[in-house]
Structure 1
């Protein structure tokens, strides 16, 4: 069976999703939505950097794209700094009876105990009204801290703690909104950015620790946050801007799921803009990695190393996020309607992607 798919946005993740849709023999690119007037009318293949046409022109008329009744929308529009608009988009699509796989808002990957009902309930109602499904995922939050640790837990005798870490150098991550506005890099250390405002880490990654706990049948007593920041040792020139000496250039944070006074499920990020920052912080395998550590019997450490064919680990992370969504389209379309979590889906694989010639 072939599933007709609309790609919603062509930014850092969306351009890779277009390439992924084209790569799967069971998916047909039925449309592309863009917000930038300069992209309207351009071929999807060119927007995806494929150097060839796919025969689908980008459009800004959302109603026309949805009226074509695609089976699924791959929604990768930025949600972090436009939460209300993103939720409205998802509700609008779901009410039309169209399934959605989305990279955000990230708390929807497992919202129970994380997000207030006024944010989640309208999405659930829209899914019921339309008889459609929504699955929010990616690589982090997503595959690196749901499928990967839960799979590894299946070879444990005893589990004391599950720790999922992203250990990456973001200096080649060309997204100034995320780096400077959301994460606060390049700002004074006493300037608290959006990401580190009280409760934001728990809203963004509390879904990770609560989903892990649910998958391990653990009832958490609560979630705690902790972070450290380090300055740039010198002026750093990045692809998306300059970070001054002494301003924020290293961030390490944890979101801890607590049970009986112990952190049993931990989400950790170690983010640097230069490899010399935080030498005593965890170091990556290769250029960058996602790491799962299970303490118990036995103890496990599993490193998922990232590297794109262009030699950049951040490209690999963006592509992993896109493909986690694209490869799940057939499964989500066939799933019961509602707001789905990783615990609701069977194993999602890269069926049809092996190239023998």
Structure 2
């Protein structure tokens, strides 16, 4: 084994985790040292078997203590984001204190958005372990933080940034993801998900994006105004994850407007839908970025699957894990503490 190889633990083996595991096994500079699984049925299974690859000699474990004791430089942390948002913090703190850098796709993009007590617990654990924590991904992690904000550097004056995401969930096969985490299929008569734990989760997660944007522009968030919207199914809608009954939630649009102390408005809108036809035939790009200022800037970004026999969601999974794997050497080289890529953005 080359001395320059980085020892890696893969934490969780859902869709993201299995993609990550393949990338780790294929990467010439990474050496798989351990795999953590939540499902006891996967414990003891060779990592290669989990992703339809040749045996590796590394066996998955559901023993948290065993992972903490594993000799590895970095953990690729890909569990599903949970309710409440901070449910994963204890695991991440333990990993950091054990001397492992953590690259996470499950939050941790800008912990300072949640106040000093939350951020300092993570920062202090990293410093004690002599390591670094980074939250990475596509959105959050890339679209605003490394693309939209970088584009604002072309503006002499800046008034407003609008970033919209549109994701169709019709081909997503996981009921737990589509119905529980995305909120589709919920019954509005039983309660408005915009005012419950799901609304709190996404306001917390995407609030990190808005506070990051403010920091990149050398300002602060004065206030955040939510304007979340639901679209109900006009008839039963059958999707890969199951059936959304008539009158149930068929689309959620999580929408926030952040007013910055420097006067810039930032609108972030995330539309998840069972069927694009519910939105007057609107088929925007996966992401659209509109920057109003001098000059105006408009961008459309699509991430698509090249193989038509594969589910469309695979493209975003591939993109997310490409960002995470490529971040490993930067995170390992960074000083102990919290890490985020810093764009050159517009400043007053």
TM-score, reference length from structure 1: 0.86
Matches within 5 A, 1:321-332: 321-332=320-331
Partner of 2:289: 292
C-alpha displacement of 1:72: 0.1
C-alpha displacement of 1:149: 1.0
Partner of 1:353: none
d(CA) in 1 for partners of 2:42, 2:195: 30
C-alpha displacement of 1:116: 4.1
Please list the CA deviations of residues 95-139 of structure 1 after superposition, one character each: whole Å capped at 9, or x if unmatched. 1111000112x2x21122x32444333212211211110001211
| Cα 1:46–1:161 shift into 2, 3 Å | farther
d(CA) in 1 for partners of 2:260, 2:40: 50
Confirm or deny that 1:29 pairs with 2:32.
Answer: yes
Matches within 5 A, 1:152-231: 152-190=151-189, 191-193=191-193, 197=197, 199-231=200-232
Gaps of 5+ in 1: 346-357
Partner of 2:10: 7
Equivalent residues of 2:289, 2:298 under 8 A apart: yes
SS of structure 2 residue aligned to 1:146: helix
Matches within 5 A, 1:11-90: 11-48=14-51, 50-81=52-83, 83-90=85-92
Equivalent residues of 1:182, 1:194 under 8 A apart: no
Equivalent residues of 1:135, 1:340 under 8 A apart: yes
C-alpha displacement of 1:9: 0.4
SS of structure 1 residue aligned to 2:44: coil
Please list the CA deviations of residues 185-235 of structure 1 after superposition, one character each: whole Å capped at 9, or x if unmatched. 112234222785564433111111111121122332111111111111221
d(CA) in 2 for partners of 1:157, 1:184: 40
SS of structure 2 residue aligned to 1:328: helix
Matches within 5 A, 1:226-305: 226-259=227-260, 264-279=265-280, 283-285=283-285, 289-305=286-302
| Cα 1:196–1:83 shift into 2, 3 Å | closer
C-alpha displacement of 1:83: 4.3
| Cα 1:253–1:132 shift into 2, 3 Å | same
Equivalent residues of 2:251, 2:274 under 8 A apart: yes
C-alpha displacement of 1:51: 4.4
C-alpha displacement of 1:256: 1.6
Pairs aligned (count):
337
Partner of 1:111: 111
| Cα 1:168–1:46 shift into 2, 3 Å | same
Equivalent residues of 1:165, 1:269 under 8 A apart: yes
Equivalent residues of 1:168, 1:284 under 8 A apart: no
Partner of 1:341: 340
Gaps of 5+ in 2: none
d(CA) in 2 for partners of 1:58, 1:176: 25
d(CA) in 2 for partners of 1:267, 1:13: 24
- Name the stretch that deviates more: 158-167 or 139-148: 158-167
Q: How large is the Cα RMSD of the aligned pairs?
A: 2.4
Partner of 2:138: 139
TM-score, reference length from structure 2: 0.89
d(CA) in 2 for partners of 1:41, 1:344: 42
Equivalent residues of 1:109, 1:342 under 8 A apart: no
